[in-house]
Structure 1
Amino acid sequence: MRSTNSMTLTARAADLLLHRETAIAATLLCAALLYLLEGALNHMPFVMLCVLAIATMLFLLSRRLYFSIYTALTVTTLLSIASVLKYRTKGFDLHIYDVVFTGTDPKAFAFLLDGFKIYILPFAGLLMASIAVLAFVFIRDRKLSITPLKRSGLVAATVALIPVSYPLHAEEPRYFHYLGGYNASAFFISFLDLRDATFGQGNAERFANMPAAEPFAAAGECETTGSKPDLFVVLSESQADLSRLDQYGIGQQFSGQFESADGKRRKLRVETFAGGTWISNFSLMTGLSSLEFGWRAPYLTTSLEGKVHQSLATELSRCGYRTAVLMPMDHGFVNEGPFLKSLGFDEILDYDRIGASEYAHRDRFYFEAARAFIEEHRRTDGRPLFLEVQTMFAHSPYSDLLADAEPESASESGIFELDEYVRRVAQSQRDFRWFIDQAENESASHPAIILEFGDHQSFATRDVMTELNPDFALYDLGSPAYLTYFTVHGIGTDVDMRPFDFASLDIAYLGVSLIEAAGLDISPMFSDLAALRDHCEGKMYFCQDRAAVNRHLKKRITSNYLTIE
């Protein structure tokens, strides 16, 4: 009896799903959902033609009409939902390179699985349920006797219509589309980037078309005659200047913080929002704007490995420094470890080497690991030290209350993610103060300069910032969404603050400014970079004199300091 009832229910489900009206209703509902996720009506012809292209290709292979329709709708919807989740946490839509790079990077995948279970597990459940339903439809859907020629014609006609519906202007950079939260179309548009990369189009051609430029003079010996202070750079993960956030009492809580030793607060312009720490670190270490490479910005640690031959590491090595980076992630995460080694860094202290047991230790853990390395270095190596310390405690997600933060750090907005973020930043700033105190305790024998900066803003403050500032827009790289901060502290040594004194400083100039502030000799290339900073008033990609920026880039290429393929 139960078997008969089960067979009846299965038959009824099949009859319902394999029905013309049901397929039409599903298509209309899916189109409405995709429109909500896209937010732009004029993009919908492109989106729905992409759905139709997937359906016709599946129909060509399977001859099953309903299976092809439902699978195309499901795939597009799941991709769009994944894009929404990525955009919410990273400020960048889903891209085909997320499959090419991140999807094939086990370290990156492990990090996402560990840190974003709240998103991944429900999505995985939805995916499994979808596969089960589609498998049922596949089994019950009968093959149609339509010739391969006609099925191929449907594919060809649909694919031919897609370029006509393309939602961007011909010369409009696709990079800005991915910043706009167009979650239904972004993944499909990104296939054009894969095409360009495959056939060598894009950046190489643009750089090649720049006017010819003479190479830089060769860098000689470092002629710094005075003392060489240790240089410590602290990458304060996901932090912005919360003393400027005048809502829910947050600004008052951080009053007097995010200031340099001279009492000034300084703005840093970065090129990523809510994620992509390695993008900011790329610019710091190379003196290059990631925006010069368009949509490739999130993938430069892979695509430019071994192709940047003059960097902050090589500049400081020339002046006798030992160079090292302490990072919370595995050496191979988004290929950052190998990329930094290719820039000339002597040491990469990664997740395993510092004895990490999770991805979001309190920042004190990273500072203590840094102190252990510093003390070992001073026992065994007489060179001055450059060390970058990357932190992690303020990183998303903020769905859980992380341990080890003092209770008085709490915000009272009533918005859990915002309050948890504020609590973590407050603790991170206290831990940073501890690191400064350790340096001050030995300032007489080991003078140092400590530069701290926020790598990007957090999505936890996006809604509040949008309310306070109507110019806050992720699609506008000149908006306040891309402003963080940096602080500079001289420990037992004088610091020339003039290289930092701009209305805002682009992160690509932060490294050369630190070198100048320390009074170190700089090579011709870095001297030209500093001159470009002054000429462009702290701006790089958005410098009003675009020809000056192009000239500097071309000179790097001509000098074989930058290889573009």
Structure 2
Amino acid sequence: MNMTVRLPGEWRHAQRWATAGAVFVFIAVLAFGPLIEHSLLERAFTAALYLALGLLLVALSGRFAFGLAAAGLLTLVLEVAAHLKYKYLTTPLLAPDLVYMINADTLRTMSRYPLLVGAASAAALCVPLLLWLAWRMERVPPFAHRRRPWLTRALLAAFALLAAGEAMSTTGPFAEAHAKGMWLAMTDASLITDFLISFRATSVRAPAYPPQAADAYDWKRGDADAGAGAALHPRPDIVAVLEESTFDPRILAACTLRLCDRRMFHSDRRTLAHGLMVVHTWGGGTWTSEFSFLTGLSHEEFGPAGLYAPFNLAPRIRYTLPRVLRANGYRTVAIYPTDGDFLNGRNAYAEYGFDAFYGGEQVGLGWESTDADLLRVFARVYAEEKAKANGQPLFLFMLTLHQHGPHMTPYAKLRAPYDRPLFAGRMDDWQNLNLANYLERLDQSDRAMARLEDMLRASGKPVLLVHFGDHQPSFDGAINGIAKRLPSGIADPSRVTYYMLKGFATPLRRYDYPVLDLAYLGGLVLDAAELHKDAFFTANALLRERCRGRYLDCGQRALADSYRADVFGQLKDLDE
């Protein structure tokens, strides 16, 4: 039976336009999307999935123009959303964003940016309209002339699904693309690939351990008398400062100028501990360093989903530094330099156990705020919170922001002597510009830290001050081309920053580690304050001593297995 359908001339003309337009959209999106991914393998990977999507939508809809237009427009929306997220947050769009970041807080944040509102509105209006037009203009489905069009469509759909499944298989032809680490996926330019491979990062993976290993070592020793000294001395206020994108530049082999040598990295008679610190991120991901400091854990222990710690780990971690400080009678306070809704900050800090949270919108801080701005806010909040505390000691945690990338302000806008290449002949032009920016901002941080120390010392009250770098800046990747001078045994030179712990009007009990992991810093503060530690931080301190400050790279497998069996098996630190 002949199934050919004849159309009036005007409809045939409209259908030709619809088909031509759909083909143009499909090819244009392919050319400016999948085919501009970072590597040849990633281009092939995303192109294969894009073609499979187009074929699947043609088969399911039974319409050629509509299927191609739908595949092109949906992919275009993904590309635009990924580029906008990268522009505003410097991280690509990833699959877990669909779980953790589509909420009222995100919509309120987006409403403050006209470009985001305009792009979202245009997509919401134009995409459905264009798809409706493609559907209406295509009067004859492509399979109408066949005897069994449904069978042809089913076979094409099955082929498309099989092809997509093979491409998405971590052991298939694109296994190398899937093997890319999630942190690299958060920092490179392959926005479509990064989104596609990130679906495995949507669920938290509990750390593995042999259950019977917990009893191989004693993880309770010292718990009973850990806070014995607290009865002999007043509990000190504790001020913790996370220094954004900050490291000691003297680890760079070429950074031998006096401008590289800053007081904030030097010990003095009030120093309890200081030195190099291993962190678990590079170039970004401040929230993962917050997580490590506040929980004594590494986000990497929970698989790729650990990158979303403020969303998926903060509500599930049972033992945290703010909670143990509250058990010791402290009032816990956080100053957040950006909007409190950014990366779920307000909710995450409540889950970590903070009594009070000051978002940037409350205290006049934002992306352009300097360390001096933060210091002024600190002075005001500290005074207000001391009044509220009514004799309770305070734990106040704050984050700086001024050192956040990019570090590409032109020399003409930098003050002397940072207004010129400082390492000509030793670094290339891009490295020189970025390092000049970094050192100029570091000078400001150094002066602000000196004023903070003076302020705390002048009070005459017992205070511990701890400050540390959350990660190295990336300089758009250029920092990895600068030689570094570091002790042997450090596996990844890009993951080294610094820490400093000082005491004012407190007993001087000193600690010395060749390199300290950030996961131990909170427990070290508890020891320096001579406070009672809970079962987790007791075990954390014992592992710190047994591994001499190393954590993920401790090198003693049996010890690490026993520790995780105790923390996650016995103590149930991760709620199911």
Q: Specify if TM > 0.5.
A: yes
Question: Closer, same or farther in 2 for the Cα pair 1:325/1:28, shift >3 Å?
Answer: closer
User: Are 2:253 and 2:485, in contact at CA under 8 Å, matched by a contact in 1?
Assistant: no
Q: Which amino acid aligns with 2:160?
A: T
Q: Are residue 432 (structure 1) and residue 417 (structure 2) matched?
A: no
Say which is worse superposed, 127-136 or 72-81, in terms of deviation: 127-136
The answer for the alignment partner of 1:294 in structure 2 is: 303
For residues 257-289 of structure 1, what are the alpha-carbon distances to aligned partners after superposition, in whole Å with 9 as ceiling and x for unaligned?
441424997222222233322211111011111
The answer for the alignment partner of 1:254 in structure 2 is: 260
Q: Are residue 50 (structure 1) and residue 49 (structure 2) matched?
A: yes
TM-score (norm 2): 0.77
- Write out aligned runs for 1:230-309 (5 A): 230-245=237-252, 252-262=258-268, 266-309=275-318
Question: Closer, same or farther in 2 for the Cα pair 1:66/1:506, shift >3 Å?
Answer: farther
Deviation at 1:312, TM superposition (A): 1.0
- Write out aligned runs for 1:149-164 (5 A): 149-164=151-166
Deviation at 1:141, TM superposition (A): 5.2
Name the CA distance, whole Å, in 1 between partners of 2:183 and 2:356.
35
Deviation at 1:417, TM superposition (A): 6.0
Partner of 2:555, secondary structure, is coil
Say which is worse superposed, 251-260 or 129-138, in terms of deviation: 129-138
Name the CA distance, whole Å, in 1 between partners of 2:108 and 2:191.
21
Say which is worse superposed, 277-286 or 408-417, in terms of deviation: 408-417
Question: Closer, same or farther in 2 for the Cα pair 1:540/1:425, shift >3 Å?
Answer: same
Question: Closer, same or farther in 2 for the Cα pair 1:143/1:210, shift >3 Å?
Answer: farther
Question: Closer, same or farther in 2 for the Cα pair 1:491/1:462, shift >3 Å?
Answer: farther
Say which is worse superposed, 165-174 or 43-52, in terms of deviation: 165-174
Query: How many pairs align?
Result: 530
Name the CA distance, whole Å, in 1 between partners of 2:414 and 2:451.
14
Q: Which amino acid aligns with 1:213?
A: A
Q: Which amino acid aligns with 1:481?
A: S
Name the CA distance, whole Å, in 2 between partners of 1:177 and 1:366.
32
Deviation at 1:373, TM superposition (A): 2.7
Partner of 1:365, secondary structure, is helix
The answer for the alignment partner of 2:564 in structure 1 is: 553
Question: Closer, same or farther in 2 for the Cα pair 1:564/1:384, shift >3 Å?
Answer: closer
Question: Closer, same or farther in 2 for the Cα pair 1:559/1:333, shift >3 Å?
Answer: farther
The answer for the alignment partner of 1:474 in structure 2 is: none
The answer for the alignment partner of 1:365 in structure 2 is: 373
User: Are 2:52 and 2:163, in contact at CA under 8 Å, matched by a contact in 1?
Assistant: no
Deviation at 1:352, TM superposition (A): 4.2
User: Are 1:508 and 1:540, in contact at CA under 8 Å, matched by a contact in 2?
Assistant: yes
Q: Which amino acid aligns with 1:144?
A: P
User: Are 2:210 and 2:561, in contact at CA under 8 Å, matched by a contact in 1?
Assistant: no
User: Are 1:105 and 1:334, in contact at CA under 8 Å, matched by a contact in 2?
Assistant: no
Partner of 2:181, secondary structure, is helix
User: Are 1:283 and 1:290, in contact at CA under 8 Å, matched by a contact in 2?
Assistant: yes
User: Are 1:274 and 1:459, in contact at CA under 8 Å, matched by a contact in 2?
Assistant: yes
Percent sequence identity is 24
Name the CA distance, whole Å, in 2 between partners of 1:562 and 1:501.
26
Partner of 1:519, secondary structure, is coil
Question: Closer, same or farther in 2 for the Cα pair 1:34/1:452, shift >3 Å?
Answer: same
Say which is worse superposed, 124-133 or 233-242, in terms of deviation: 124-133
User: Are 1:274 and 1:456, in contact at CA under 8 Å, matched by a contact in 2?
Assistant: yes
Say which is worse superposed, 286-295 or 424-433, in terms of deviation: 424-433
The answer for the alignment partner of 2:181 in structure 1 is: 176
Which protein shows a greater Rg? 2
User: Are 1:267 and 1:483, in contact at CA under 8 Å, matched by a contact in 2?
Assistant: yes
Name the CA distance, whole Å, in 2 between partners of 1:19 and 1:489.
66
The answer for the alignment partner of 1:324 in structure 2 is: 333
Partner of 2:265, secondary structure, is coil
Name the CA distance, whole Å, in 2 between partners of 1:178 and 1:80.
20
Partner of 1:383, secondary structure, is coil
Say which is worse superposed, 461-470 or 45-54, in terms of deviation: 461-470
- Aligned pair partner of 1:340 in 330, 343, 349: 349
CA RMSD of aligned residues (A): 4.3
Q: Which amino acid aligns with 1:102?
A: M
Question: Closer, same or farther in 2 for the Cα pair 1:275/1:28, shift >3 Å?
Answer: closer
For residues 222-246 of structure 1, what are the alpha-carbon distances to aligned partners after superposition, in whole Å with 9 as ceiling and x for unaligned?
4323323221110112222234345
Q: Which amino acid aligns with 2:458?
A: N
The answer for the alignment partner of 2:58 in structure 1 is: 59
Name the CA distance, whole Å, in 2 between partners of 1:121 and 1:419.
36
Partner of 2:441, secondary structure, is helix
For residues 301-339 of structure 1, what are the alpha-carbon distances to aligned partners after superposition, in whole Å with 9 as ceiling and x for unaligned?
222344222211222233332222111234443233223
The answer for the alignment partner of 2:506 in structure 1 is: 493
Deviation at 1:358, TM superposition (A): 3.5
User: Are 1:243 and 1:252, in contact at CA under 8 Å, matched by a contact in 2?
Assistant: no
Partner of 1:323, secondary structure, is strand
User: Are 1:269 and 1:482, in contact at CA under 8 Å, matched by a contact in 2?
Assistant: yes
The answer for the alignment partner of 2:483 in structure 1 is: 468
- Write out aligned runs for 1:411-422 (5 A): 411-413=419-421, 419-422=436-439
- Give the gaps of 5 or more residues in structure 2: 1-9, 144-148, 422-428
Say which is worse superposed, 79-88 or 156-165, in terms of deviation: 79-88
Deviation at 1:510, TM superposition (A): 1.0
TM-score (norm 1): 0.78
Q: Which amino acid aligns with 1:58?
A: L
Q: Which amino acid aligns with 2:513?
A: D
- Write out aligned runs for 1:507-518 (5 A): 507-518=518-529
Deviation at 1:345, TM superposition (A): 2.3
Partner of 1:162, secondary structure, is helix
The answer for the alignment partner of 2:5 in structure 1 is: none
User: Are 2:280 and 2:300, in contact at CA under 8 Å, matched by a contact in 1?
Assistant: yes
The answer for the alignment partner of 1:532 in structure 2 is: 543
The answer for the alignment partner of 2:426 in structure 1 is: none
Q: Are residue 144 (structure 1) and residue 141 (structure 2) matched?
A: yes
User: Are 1:409 and 1:424, in contact at CA under 8 Å, matched by a contact in 2?
Assistant: no
